[in-house]
């Protein structure tokens, strides 16, 4: 046993996945210290895996199961590995190298912050192209409002009427991945056929588990977002006692359903669902404790959407006690994005892409320094 031999400056990382051990060239139960790049790795069946808190493993391994037979560098920061999110068309998005920005495109008459602005295909396409020019990595197209407290249920036919013309044209004009924001398998299938490569399900398969089958058949990416109840009624639900436990257990159940439907683990992204069936305090708690939530899902990238949401309006109310309107929540949105990134979020879903891209660049730079623990000489 090597526990006594572990130096005091070595930080323990919870059991590394077998795939990660294999990628580093480690056997399951080494009983000696092994040097990998700048890291010293201590491993035994008792003491677990330990890594000195440095920044980077530069690893070249043509036979690594994590690099698909290609030479690559893998970044290890507190057990965090740059990996790929598998989406439709045999494509993949790099997760971990930098925070990705998903731009919101609501093709609806009643979304909470931009309803009716982009209902026509021409306006929707122009806005999508603007977000792409501003640096969006993904465009998330939605044809049914999920705003809590007042959204109308939309038929699959109406939803498809709204989203398909936009998805078809956008897929022809741009290579930026398109996500379909839907809770219906029929809509997901048609959108994927039209050129979408990701399904963003705010019900995490609670409303229609057959979405998993459509995702599996197409090889698409899948975002599983935690929510409680239905959009029209969730504000009336009593708050749960422990929101971290609730989100964790619910998402674990959804992941199990997704994998049971044939979805590959590397295609799944999770989302804690800020604003969906949570109290004001619980929304803030989830952002503040995002790293605790992520610890329960070490194999999955995390997406978070705080942009313009009502909890920000309440936090930013004016002197008369009136909530800030949706279009006056930009700065609050960017603060929450920054906090989420510093706590480990991999993807942020936003309405204001230009501001978010700039925020992400700064937050990613701060995050890199925090995790490296390396002092930089001052510069101005």
**Strand positions, DSSP E, the chain:** 11-13, 33-36, 39-44, 48-51, 56-57, 74-77, 80-81, 83-87, 91-95, 100-106, 138-142, 178-181, 198-201, 221-225, 268-271, 303-304, 347-350
Q: Which residues are catalytic?
A: 309, 349
Sheet order of strands, 56-57 included? 56-57, 74-77, 80-81
Beta partners for 43? 49
Quick check: 103 and 305 in contact, CB under 8 A? no
Cβ atoms within 10 Å of 318's Cβ, excluding its own: 9
> Of the candidates 121, 114, 131, which has an alpha carbon nearest to the alpha carbon of residue 352?
131
Q: What dihedral do alpha carbons 204, 208, 210, 214 form, nearest 10°?
A: -70
> Of the candidates 232, 225, 207, which has an alpha carbon nearest to the alpha carbon of residue 151?
232
Beta partners for 33? 42
Q: Could you give the CA distance from residue 282 to residue 289 in angstroms, rounded to a whole number?
A: 10
> Of the candidates 141, 140, 143, which has an alpha carbon nearest to the alpha carbon of residue 157?
143
Q: Could you give the CA distance from residue 118 to residue 40 in angstroms, rounded to a whole number?
A: 54
Q: Could you give the CA distance from residue 309 to residue 325 in angstroms, rounded to a whole number?
A: 10
């Amino acid at each position: 046993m090597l526990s006594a031999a572990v130096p005091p400056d070595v930080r323990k990382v919870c059991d590394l996945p077998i795939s990660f051990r294999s990628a580093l060239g480690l056997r399951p139960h080494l009983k000696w210290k092994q040097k990998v790049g700048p890291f010293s790795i201590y491993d035994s069946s008792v003491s677990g895996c330990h890594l000195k808190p440095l920044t980077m493993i530069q690893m070249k391994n043509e036979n690594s199961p994590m690099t698909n037979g290609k030479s690559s560098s893998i970044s290890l920061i507190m057990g965090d590995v740059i990996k790929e999110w598998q989406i439709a068309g045999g494509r993949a998005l790099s997760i971990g190298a930098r925070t990705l920005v998903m731009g919101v495109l609501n093709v609806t008459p009643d979304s909470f912050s931009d309803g009716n602005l982009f209902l026509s295909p021409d306006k929707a396409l122009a806005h999508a192209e603007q977000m792409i020019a501003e640096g969006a990595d993904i465009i998330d197209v939605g044809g049914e409002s999920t705003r809590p407290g007042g959204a109308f249920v939309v038929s699959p036919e109406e939803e498809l009427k709204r989203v398909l013309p936009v998805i078809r044209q956008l897929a022809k004009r741009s290579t930026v991945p398109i996500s379909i924001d839907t809770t219906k398998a029929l809509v997901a299938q048609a959108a994927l056929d039209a050129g979408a490569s990701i399904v963003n399900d705010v019900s995490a398969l609670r409303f229609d588990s057959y979405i998993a089958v459509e995702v599996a058949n197409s090889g698409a990416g899948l975002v599983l977002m935690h929510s409680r109840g239905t959009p029209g009624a969730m504000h009336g639900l009593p708050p749960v006692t422990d929101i971290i436990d609730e989100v964790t257990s619910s998402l674990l159940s959804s992941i199990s359903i997704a994998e049971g439907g044939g979805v590959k683990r590397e295609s799944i992204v999770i989302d804690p669902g800020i604003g969906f069936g949570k109290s004001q305090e619980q929304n803030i708690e989830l952002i503040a404790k995002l790293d605790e939530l992520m610890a329960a899902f070490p194999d999955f990238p995390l997406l978070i959407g705080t942009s313009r949401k009502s909890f920000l309006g309440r936090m930013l109310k004016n002197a008369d006690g009136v909530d800030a309107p949706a279009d006056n929540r930009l700065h609050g949105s960017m603060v929450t994005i920054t906090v989420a990134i510093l706590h480990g979020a991999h993807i942020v879903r936003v309405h204001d892409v230009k501001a978010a891209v700039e925020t992400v660049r700064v937050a990613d730079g701060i995050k890199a320094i925090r995790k490296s623990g390396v002092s930089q000489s001052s510069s101005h």
